[in-house]
Structure 1
Amino acid sequence: MKTLTKVKLINWHTFSNTEFEIYKNALITGENGTGKSTILDAIQYVLTVGKCKFNKAASDIGNRTLESYIRCKTGIEGHEYVRNGDVTTYIVLEFFDEKTKDYQIIGTVIDLPSGGRLNREFFQILDSQINDVTFIEERKVLTKKEFKNTLNTNNQQGFFKDTIKEGERLFGNALGVKPKYFDLVTRALAFKAIDNVYQFIVDFLLKEDFVDIQNLRDSIKHYKVLEEKLKVSKKECDTLEEVIQFYNLYLENAFQIDILDCTKEKLYERELRSLIENSQKRYQTIEDQLNFIQQKLNQLHQDEESYQEKYHQLDQSLRENDTYNLKNDLKKECERLKKEKEDKHKGYIELLDELQQEAKLLKELRIQKAFIKVLENEEYHTETLSAHLRKVEQEIIEKTNKTEYQRSSLQLEITKNVEQYNQYQEEYTSLKENQLYYRKEIQELICLLNEQLTKHFGKSIEVKPLCEYIEVKDEKWRNALEGYLNSQRFDLIVEPEYFEYALLVYEEYKNKRGIYGVGIVDVAKLAKYGNVALKETLADQLECKNTYARWYVNMLLSKVHCVDDVTQLRNYPTAITPTCMLYKNYTARALNPRIYNKPYIGLGAIKIQLKTIEQQLETLQQEIKQQKVELEALKNTQSLLKKSNADKILYRIDLLDKYHSLEKEYQEVNERYQKLELDDSIISLQEECEAVKKQLDQTKKEKENALMKKGSLENNLEMFKEQLEQTQESYDVLHEKIIQFEMDHLELSQKADQKVIVYLKRFVKDFKAMKNEIDYQKSVSQDKARQVESQIEMKMKDYNNEYNIGFENSLKDIESYKQRFHQLKDMDIVSKEEKTRQAKLKCEESFKTSFISGLNEKIENAKKDIYELNKGLAQRDFNGETYEFCVSPTSRDDFKEYYKIIQSGKEYMANNLLSETLNESQRRIMDELFIKLSSVENDQETEKMLLEYTDYRNYLDYDIKIKYNSGDFAYFSKVNKEKSGGETQTPFYVIMAASFEQVVRNRNQNEGFGCVVIFDEAFNNMDEQRIQEMIKFYNEREIQTFIAVPPSRASTIIPYVNTRLLVIKQNQHSFVEGFRDEEL
């Protein structure tokens, strides 16, 4: 212990050159105005390194200043100061180290020039006593400069400091005390009644010890830098995404224009086909009519000649009545009929030829072999042929229906394959954009969570499946990894703070949207898997871009050992080979290739899927091409079926009967000829002549009408033939063009087919209206495409200006923008998100270690210190009362919730910020505190707030429990205004003792310290028993007391102090008489 042993005052108020010794505890007394307070202010001035306010209570000359002390202000009119001119003042304190037996001096030297400014320095002189140092030579007080020179001359080691901060450091090292000591000296001297017990205990009993959160703030600054970089990258990515979205819109417009062009072509093909079919029907109708008229004319011509000849013969016979001539005429008639039969033979042969053509068609169609055989045998019986022709006609109808069914079925298969092709194409496009294509439920839940979490938390939140956060190190193990993880590859990684809300969203929408079988990982519970052994396990075969993904992978795969051969499987509880043979639960099984044939893990999976889909697209395209060939074959069959004339032949089959009738007529005429040779009746000749005349007239009239109709039909036929040939040629060229286009553009062609159906349904066969509508829609799309292109180029320009990228502001350079977007989205942002996440975890860890643990430790230490203080007080009886300091959780609303969590959250402190032991409300409270402490602002208000939250004392409430011998007790906060002065003073001195005890720097390091406490009018309301116990209390704590009391109270305290000082004043000079009692 370093004790104050002597005090020397030179030119300090009324003390010109006074020194007095002190042995242990000291009491100083004297009448008012003698200089007690002056001495206290002098000692206080040194022990506070000049920071004190001088004692006002004892002043009889107004407020005292340092200059008034130095010049000795009297207040006498015309003689204001005792000392004028240049004055030098010394306040010197001598200390003795009881352990080392060494002396040292600390003090201050102050030069006050006449009309000048104060010049002050604090000093320490080692290994010296006051008597060893020269302050006055030849009755002259040495100036500061002279004092330093004298020390150097005498080889005395002195240290001088001219600032308070440096002085505190100098005196703190000299006395072995902490900086707070210098503040406590003033507080002890300026005693006042305890008004607010809470504030009093905070100020005096508990040491000011803020939690150091600099590491936390440094971590937060680093996190904020990373977060800002991430925001910049995300903003750039969002800007690029806008460019690409507009480009996709541009492509969609271009695609719609292509669809409209294709639709227009297909509708034009339909229009041409409709024209051809109508023209063919009309042409065939006219041709049939013409053939029929021609046949009729031929028949009429022959009938006319026959009737004319017959009439002439009958008329001549009647005129001549020559039977012989008639017989010759009949002979001639027989010859004519023979000739007519020969003329009809041509039509007869043409009909037979049509029958042969029909047979040839039927051979191509491979139907009606019986009919073909009849014709091959030349069995031209009308009835037989009619029966067969009706069968042909029926089978043609059936064949037509069947072919149409086959065509429709094949068309449906083509449509399905095209849809599959389009799906593959969509997957391919997605993969080319580095986006995996998931089944509907997974994609639906990802989109739903991204939307709902972003909306709920007010910031962009992106949820991804596990497979997007991991990469396969060695492709040898890909199938094993894909197969073992199976559906867990698609489990969604959600950051811990969002999990509970994500779960609520999933619960709400699972039935509404049919989302089942997709997992959301509760990563908050997986921290323990962060540092598990991975060597030679499947987990070691994966690189993870995300901490939470790594935890989940470690949980799933860290116990699955990798072996190269199936014979090694049984060496481990769970093991797997590269060939996907799994051993688990003492059972070996081969993983289904269906699971791992389509990989999903990492960017490598995208490359493999791209290659597979390219093959599938090629295979499917070839299959669709083959189906289209088959479809064309069916269409050709339909075309052949349409060429069948069975129904028309059946309509004209009676020509055979006519031909046969002519033969029969010939036979009848011939028979008449034979009869006329025997019959000479003239009457029969007249009747026959009139009948023939009538038939002749009728035949001429029919012939004239037929000729007129024939001319009209021939003109129409020639016109339709020319139109049909032109239309057919246009149709063939367009049809071939469309077929080739469909094979090269399956999706576009399918979309166009759908539009064709819509237009046909809407406009029926009004192809002109369809064309006008398509032209209008195309014009709208082209205008929109131009607008979008302009917007794209504007956004490109804005992007290049903002991020100083040298891309072209043109669609020609769109690939550069897309590559940059995918570089950011799939690599840079993922990497920065992980770095930011790690930085945040570091902040949270620092929050736990720097703040929460530190705060908890300081709270516990405070409780422990008060407990130790209470142990000493428990045996100390202050006139029938004992005191106990009480500590309880704060009642302040802004701190009590934090205290509850900090004090009860052992697991919270041991695990992580988002421990499952905290409910949502508690997590929210701690998050708010974390945010407050996370402020990187350096303004005064922020610093004040940080000091408040890092001061452990604010988390507690304090009181003093007063225990009586009767067993009753009371709390000081409730009764302090009702108690006597002594009762309210006792806690003050107890707390001051505890406060000074805390500022002794090296108490537990077995090194000396000096702790002097100054009290003015101390213990003035306390009885002797309390005074005795209090001084003993201070002595036990090795605190040296210097007590000033008025003479009326001196007798009460004198028995308990070692040194008694009496201040005496004569005129303007004061001096001290000292007495000491070493036996106490």
Structure 2
Amino acid sequence: MKTLTKVKLINWHSFTNESFEVYHNTLMTGENSAGKSTILDAIQYVLTVGTCKFNKAASDIGTRTLESYIRCKTGKEGQEYERNGDVSCYIALEFYDEKTRQYQVIGAAIDLMRGSKPIRDFFQIINTQIKDVTFILDDKVLTRKQFKDILIQNKQIAYFKDTIKEGKRLFANALSVKPKYFELVSRALAFKAIDNVYNFIMDFLLKEDYVDINNLRQSIQHYQQLEEQLKVSKVECDALAKIAKQYDDFATMEFKKEVLLFVREKMTEKHLLHLIEQDKNNEKNYNAKVNQLNYKLIQIDTQYESYRKQLDVLEDSMQQNESYQLRKNLNEKFKELDREKNKNENKYKDVIQKIKDEARLLKKINGQNKFIDYVNNSQYDGEVLNEHIQNVIHYIKERKNKLYKDIQDKKIHLKENIDEYNDILNKYNALKNNQFSYKNEIQELINLLKEKLFMHYGKHVEVKPLCEYLEVKDESWRNALEAYLNTQRFDIIIDPEYFEYALLVYEEYKNKRGIYGVGIVDVAKLKKYDDIEIDGTLANQLICKNTYAKWYVNMLLRYVKCVDDARDLRKHRTAITRTVMLYKNYTVRALNPRSYKVPFIGYNAIKIQMKQLEVQLTNLKEIIDKEKKDVDQQQKILDLINQSQAESISFQIDIIDEYQSIEKQLHDIKTRLDNLKLDDSIFALQEEYDKLSEQFSYIRTQKRETTEEVGKIKDQLKSIKHQLEQNQKNQQTIHESIVQYEMDHIDITQQTDQWVRDYEKRYFRDFQSIFKSIDQCESQYDKDLSTSKNNIVFMMNNYNNEFNIGFENSLDDIQSYLKRYFQLRDMDIIDKTEKTRQAKLKCEESFKTSFISGLNEKIENAKRNINALNKGLSQRNFNGETYEFIVTATKKENFKEYYKIIQTGKEYMTDNLLSETLNDGQRRVMDELFAKLSSVENDKETDKTLMEYTDYRNYLDYDIKINYDDGSFAYFSKVNKEKSGGETQTPFYVIMAASFEQVIQNQRQNEDFGCVVLLDEAFNNMDERRIQEMIKFYNERDIQTFIIVPPSRAATIIPYVNTRLLVIKQDNHSFVEVITDEK
């Protein structure tokens, strides 16, 4: 045992240069203010290596300071200190090692210069007694430097340390005690009667050891900074999304306006077709009028015939004349034939015109050249002509049926190509917006999960297929990656917190929506694949922008080795080449190019797909343009064929024969009349004949006028035909324009056709109302487009002001906004989300290691230490009693729930840093705790709260169990108020001894230890028997006690101590008188 044998104080309050010897247990007494506590503070200052609070027992406030002790603060007016100027102070404790029989001195050397703070050194001088150490030379107290120099000069071995940490290590080694000893010294000295066992154990027994959460708070603050940056990016992205949405609406309106303008074009064509139809009807009506007038002419001809017959009566008398008779007969025959000719002339001309028109039509459609040649000869034979016409009718019928079928087939195929073109165009436009087009079931499940997760959790949850989180490092391996992953590229990645609910949604809607074959990855089970070896594998050819995607990729591809030469495939269990040759399960196969023809992995896949679609769109457009031209050309031919009058001609061939026969007869009669002369006998009857002829002339005038009317109507017919031709020409021009526009704007065609049908259904042929409605719609579109444009510019201005971006506030710069939007949405936010997720995972890990595990470790250490203490106490029967510490979970409402969760040892790996296995109550509790720990406030209240929650002692409850020899027991917390003072003090001193015993055990076996316990006003409520047993108890444990009591209590304790110290004060100087009893 190393015992304290001597104490020396120099310039320590009222002690100027005082030394006194002690032997084993010591009792110190004296009147109030004599200096008892001053000596205790000096000794504990050394034994605690300067960490004590002075005069703790006298005042909880602890107003004394190191400076006030050194300068000897008096508090007198005008003379606050006894010592001024530069002062050096020494506290020296001499220990004797009973095993080695050697002395050593430990202590503190302190310099206090005028106007400065104290500077101290803790020292150990080995193999030396205090009497052999020079502290004062020539009546002057040495400074620290002089003190060190004199030791060296005297060849005394000494060690100096100027920090508490190094000083503790020095003194712990000198006394052979554990570091905890230094804490127990102060706690024992500050002891008061136990009013609250919980506070006693907290203050005395358990080490004040807070969980260090600085790293956790830094991690959380970093996470919160990243989260805030992510929020800012999302806010910016939302602002840009609104601009993009408004611009999309604007573009849609522009598209609709283009459709509307094209609808006007098509309706204009239909209007012209309607006018053409009207012109044709007018032509038909005027032809009917002509026929009606021709009928009137027939009636006039009847009257004309009546007058002629009357003239014939007058001519009867002249019929005896043979020449006259012949002339008359020939004239009659001529007139009859002439009338017949005039009657049939229009019909004949119509037929001839139809034949010529039919020949021109056939020439346009490259058909029936023999008929065309025959017509061009202008010599018509009824039988031959009929044969030609029948051939034309047969040809027209066959050609017409074939054309109609071809046109219908081509229109169907054209529509299919246009639909395909529009589908590809939609995919292309989506790719321009950095959006892939997936199979229906994939997109359906993505949309369904987004909708249902938002409804359930009240926030947008990221739902994306695996391929959108990946980038290909080396493009030469793209085909291999695309082919091997195949449909797994589209497996959906979501945060593990939402997996279970997503699973329930999938289960409920898979049959309702027809969603099959699409995977949702349970990433929570894949964390073990986070940090695995993937060098040389297909997994190493990918950059993963999402932690969960990385886990899944590593799981899928970790065994797929990449080889350059197909001959090296067999060297591995599973391997693949750049040329997409796969070796697996001892089988090699070439993967189908269909699986990688259309790439989906990474941003570059968008560029590749766009190039592929551009080729498809170009090829399809060429096909569609050609098909449209073919359909249009065939439609023109069909329209011409529909104008064929061959069948009508076939029924009118006889008119030609009859007309030609009459013309021949008239020619013959005219020849005979020209050769015939009348004799003079007929002139006698001529006068009467002439009178009748006047009336006949009137009828003839009517006939002429009617004929003129017919001519006027025919002139009107000519005008109608001209108008018809003009409308047909305009229709042809606008039709060609429409056809060309459709070729150049395939995407508009379908929508236009639908709108045209809608207009026709609503207005039928009321073109005036149709064009009025179109004009109104166009005006409304112009207004809406202007409003939308102004809204976009307004949002652009707000965006630039809020985010300090230098884009132009104009639609001319819309691509800059869209580019920024797509950059944020498809790259930056994904990247920041991943960084935030990684920071969150780091917080979770820090939460577990820095706080949860750290707290749990400290709690378990406390339990182990107390169990070890209990083990020692169980062997110490004290006057029929043994004592045991009881440690249970705290009953404090704000700590007990945390304790339960901390002790479960659960993992904390979810969005709110809590285990998904925690119930709602536990989740809420840990959320609150995490919020407290992550506070970024630096105010005193926050610091106090953090200290409470990082102090493991607050999570426990304590008591002392008193076991009696008869087997009964009691809890100190319940009986302390019922017991006498001595009984309630006994457990404290027993436990104190056990605690000190813990710090001197298990030290170096070949060395003694020094254990001095300072007790102020100790045993003040104990009777003599208990005091005697208590001192004996301490002696048995080789614990040296240093007890201070007032003079009134000294007589009770004096018999049981070896040294008695009496502290006396005269004026401002204190002295110590020593009485020793080595017995």
Q: What is the TM-score normalised by the length of structure 1?
A: 0.81
Could you tell me which residue of structure 1 aligns to residue 1076 of structure 2?
1075
Once the two structures are TM-superposed, the CA of residue 859 in structure 1 deviates from its matched residue by: 1.7
Once the two structures are TM-superposed, the CA of residue 865 in structure 1 deviates from its matched residue by: 0.7
For residues 299-318 of structure 1, give each alpha carbon's deviation from its aligned partner in whole angstroms, at most 9, with x where no partner exists: 67877776655543343116
Work out whether residues 54 and 63 of structure 2, in 8 Å CA contact, stay in contact via their aligned partners in 1.
no
Once the two structures are TM-superposed, the CA of residue 210 in structure 1 deviates from its matched residue by: 1.4
Structure 1: distance between partners of 2:426 and 2:220: 44
Identity of aligned residues (%): 51
Could you tell me which residue of structure 1 aligns to residue 107 of structure 2?
106
Paired residues for 1:245-394 under 5 Å:
245-287=245-287, 289-290=289-290, 292=291, 309=308, 311-317=310-316, 329-340=328-339, 346-347=345-346, 349-350=348-349, 352-353=351-352, 356=355, 360=359, 380=382
- Matched to 2:1073, the amino acid is V
Structure 1: distance between partners of 2:564 and 2:1046: 98
Once the two structures are TM-superposed, the CA of residue 207 in structure 1 deviates from its matched residue by: 0.7
Paired residues for 1:960-975 under 5 Å:
960-975=960-975
- 1:52 matches 2:51: no
CA RMSD of aligned residues (A): 5.4
Work out whether residues 371 and 388 of structure 1, in 8 Å CA contact, stay in contact via their aligned partners in 2.
no
Paired residues for 1:74-473 under 5 Å:
92-96=91-95, 98=97, 101-106=102-107, 124=122, 126-127=124-125, 129-132=129-132, 173-174=170-171, 184-287=184-287, 289-290=289-290, 292=291, 309=308, 311-317=310-316, 329-340=328-339, 346-347=345-346, 349-350=348-349, 352-353=351-352, 356=355, 360=359, 380=382, 407=407, 410-450=410-450, 453=453, 461-473=461-473
Could you tell me which residue of structure 1 aligns to residue 1016 of structure 2?
1016
For residues 28-56 of structure 1, give each alpha carbon's deviation from its aligned partner in whole angstroms, at most 9, with x where no partner exists: 45788987566546645665657323654
Structure 1: distance between partners of 2:581 and 2:72: 103
Paired residues for 1:907-1056 under 5 Å:
922=922, 925-993=925-993, 1011-1022=1011-1022, 1031=1031, 1034=1034, 1039-1045=1039-1045
Could you tell me which residue of structure 1 aligns to residue 726 of structure 2?
726
- Evaluate the alpha carbon distance shift between residue 150 and residue 968 of structure 1 in structure 2; reply closer, same or farther with a 3 A threshold: closer
Structure 2: distance between partners of 1:271 and 1:909: 71
Once the two structures are TM-superposed, the CA of residue 881 in structure 1 deviates from its matched residue by: 1.7
For residues 1012-1050 of structure 1, give each alpha carbon's deviation from its aligned partner in whole angstroms, at most 9, with x where no partner exists: 322133234456786567556656766432123567876
Tell me the matched-pair count: 1040
Structure 2: distance between partners of 1:92 and 1:925: 52
Query: Could you say what secondary structure the match of 2:264 adopts?
Result: helix
Query: Could you say what secondary structure the match of 2:903 adopts?
Result: helix
For residues 980-1032 of structure 1, give each alpha carbon's deviation from its aligned partner in whole angstroms, at most 9, with x where no partner exists: 33432233224434655678899579998755322133234456786567556
Could you tell me which residue of structure 2 aligns to residue 893 of structure 1?
893
Structure 2: distance between partners of 1:475 and 1:66: 74
Work out whether residues 74 and 81 of structure 2, in 8 Å CA contact, stay in contact via their aligned partners in 1.
no
Query: Could you say what secondary structure the match of 1:957 adopts?
Result: strand
- Evaluate the alpha carbon distance shift between residue 38 and residue 564 of structure 1 in structure 2; reply closer, same or farther with a 3 A threshold: closer
- Evaluate the alpha carbon distance shift between residue 318 and residue 1039 of structure 1 in structure 2; reply closer, same or farther with a 3 A threshold: farther
Structure 2: distance between partners of 1:220 and 1:807: 35
- 1:817 matches 2:821: no
Structure 2: distance between partners of 1:932 and 1:332: 134
- Evaluate the alpha carbon distance shift between residue 623 and residue 699 of structure 1 in structure 2; reply closer, same or farther with a 3 A threshold: farther
Query: Could you say what secondary structure the match of 1:543 adopts?
Result: strand
Work out whether residues 574 and 585 of structure 2, in 8 Å CA contact, stay in contact via their aligned partners in 1.
yes
Work out whether residues 870 and 885 of structure 2, in 8 Å CA contact, stay in contact via their aligned partners in 1.
yes
For residues 595-635 of structure 1, give each alpha carbon's deviation from its aligned partner in whole angstroms, at most 9, with x where no partner exists: 32221111232122111111111122122112212321342
- 1:613 matches 2:613: yes
For residues 372-413 of structure 1, give each alpha carbon's deviation from its aligned partner in whole angstroms, at most 9, with x where no partner exists: 999999885899999979x969x9899879866765564454
- Evaluate the alpha carbon distance shift between residue 659 and residue 898 of structure 1 in structure 2; reply closer, same or farther with a 3 A threshold: same
Q: What is the TM-score normalised by the length of structure 2?
A: 0.81
Could you tell me which residue of structure 1 aligns to residue 685 of structure 2?
none
Structure 1: distance between partners of 2:705 and 2:537: 103
Paired residues for 1:522-541 under 5 Å:
522-541=522-541
- Evaluate the alpha carbon distance shift between residue 288 and residue 55 of structure 1 in structure 2; reply closer, same or farther with a 3 A threshold: closer
Work out whether residues 470 and 543 of structure 2, in 8 Å CA contact, stay in contact via their aligned partners in 1.
yes
Larger deviation, residues 857-866 vs 563-572: 563-572
Paired residues for 1:793-812 under 5 Å:
793-812=793-812
Structure 1 gaps of 5+ residues are 670-688
Structure 1: distance between partners of 2:1001 and 2:944: 27
Could you tell me which residue of structure 2 aligns to residue 735 of structure 1?
735
Larger deviation, residues 1041-1050 vs 526-535: 1041-1050
Query: Could you say what secondary structure the match of 1:329 adopts?
Result: helix
- 1:643 matches 2:643: yes
Structure 1: distance between partners of 2:699 and 2:77: 174
Structure 1: distance between partners of 2:739 and 2:1033: 111
- Matched to 1:315, the amino acid is L
Structure 2: distance between partners of 1:981 and 1:279: 130
For residues 527-546 of structure 1, give each alpha carbon's deviation from its aligned partner in whole angstroms, at most 9, with x where no partner exists: 11123332443323322222
Structure 2: distance between partners of 1:872 and 1:173: 28
Structure 2: distance between partners of 1:625 and 1:555: 50
Query: Could you say what secondary structure the match of 2:808 adopts?
Result: coil
- Evaluate the alpha carbon distance shift between residue 966 and residue 764 of structure 1 in structure 2; reply closer, same or farther with a 3 A threshold: same
Work out whether residues 221 and 936 of structure 2, in 8 Å CA contact, stay in contact via their aligned partners in 1.
yes
Paired residues for 1:856-871 under 5 Å:
856-871=856-871
Structure 1: distance between partners of 2:738 and 2:468: 42
Work out whether residues 168 and 179 of structure 1, in 8 Å CA contact, stay in contact via their aligned partners in 2.
no
Once the two structures are TM-superposed, the CA of residue 552 in structure 1 deviates from its matched residue by: 0.3
Structure 2: distance between partners of 1:831 and 1:724: 69
Query: Could you say what secondary structure the match of 1:191 adopts?
Result: coil
Larger deviation, residues 621-630 vs 977-986: 977-986
For residues 863-907 of structure 1, give each alpha carbon's deviation from its aligned partner in whole angstroms, at most 9, with x where no partner exists: 111111111111110122212212222333333333333322266
Once the two structures are TM-superposed, the CA of residue 811 in structure 1 deviates from its matched residue by: 2.7
Structure 2: distance between partners of 1:82 and 1:537: 82
Larger deviation, residues 464-473 vs 498-507: 498-507
Query: Could you say what secondary structure the match of 2:958 adopts?
Result: strand
Work out whether residues 434 and 822 of structure 1, in 8 Å CA contact, stay in contact via their aligned partners in 2.
yes
Query: Could you say what secondary structure the match of 2:1075 adopts?
Result: strand
For residues 710-738 of structure 1, give each alpha carbon's deviation from its aligned partner in whole angstroms, at most 9, with x where no partner exists: 25523432432343233233322222222
- Matched to 2:26, the amino acid is A
Query: Could you say what secondary structure the match of 1:520 adopts?
Result: coil
Work out whether residues 7 and 19 of structure 1, in 8 Å CA contact, stay in contact via their aligned partners in 2.
yes
Structure 1: distance between partners of 2:826 and 2:236: 13
Once the two structures are TM-superposed, the CA of residue 193 in structure 1 deviates from its matched residue by: 2.7
Work out whether residues 530 and 551 of structure 2, in 8 Å CA contact, stay in contact via their aligned partners in 1.
yes
Work out whether residues 222 and 839 of structure 1, in 8 Å CA contact, stay in contact via their aligned partners in 2.
yes
Structure 2: distance between partners of 1:74 and 1:264: 110
- Evaluate the alpha carbon distance shift between residue 644 and residue 931 of structure 1 in structure 2; reply closer, same or farther with a 3 A threshold: same
For residues 39-92 of structure 1, give each alpha carbon's deviation from its aligned partner in whole angstroms, at most 9, with x where no partner exists: 54664566565732365499xxx99999999999999xx999999898999774
Query: Could you say what secondary structure the match of 1:526 adopts?
Result: helix
Structure 1: distance between partners of 2:332 and 2:93: 178
Structure 2: distance between partners of 1:207 and 1:218: 26
Paired residues for 1:478-493 under 5 Å:
478-493=478-493
Could you tell me which residue of structure 2 aligns to residue 771 of structure 1?
771
- 1:836 matches 2:836: yes
Work out whether residues 464 and 492 of structure 2, in 8 Å CA contact, stay in contact via their aligned partners in 1.
yes
Once the two structures are TM-superposed, the CA of residue 771 in structure 1 deviates from its matched residue by: 2.3
Paired residues for 1:754-793 under 5 Å:
754-793=754-793
- Matched to 1:313, the amino acid is D
Structure 2: distance between partners of 1:582 and 1:305: 107
Work out whether residues 876 and 1029 of structure 1, in 8 Å CA contact, stay in contact via their aligned partners in 2.
no
Larger deviation, residues 461-470 vs 726-735: 726-735
- Matched to 2:891, the amino acid is S
- Evaluate the alpha carbon distance shift between residue 79 and residue 10 of structure 1 in structure 2; reply closer, same or farther with a 3 A threshold: farther
Query: Could you say what secondary structure the match of 2:521 adopts?
Result: strand
Structure 1: distance between partners of 2:74 and 2:485: 96
Structure 2: distance between partners of 1:189 and 1:171: 19
Could you tell me which residue of structure 2 aligns to residue 681 of structure 1?
none
Work out whether residues 961 and 971 of structure 1, in 8 Å CA contact, stay in contact via their aligned partners in 2.
yes
Query: Could you say what secondary structure the match of 1:524 adopts?
Result: helix
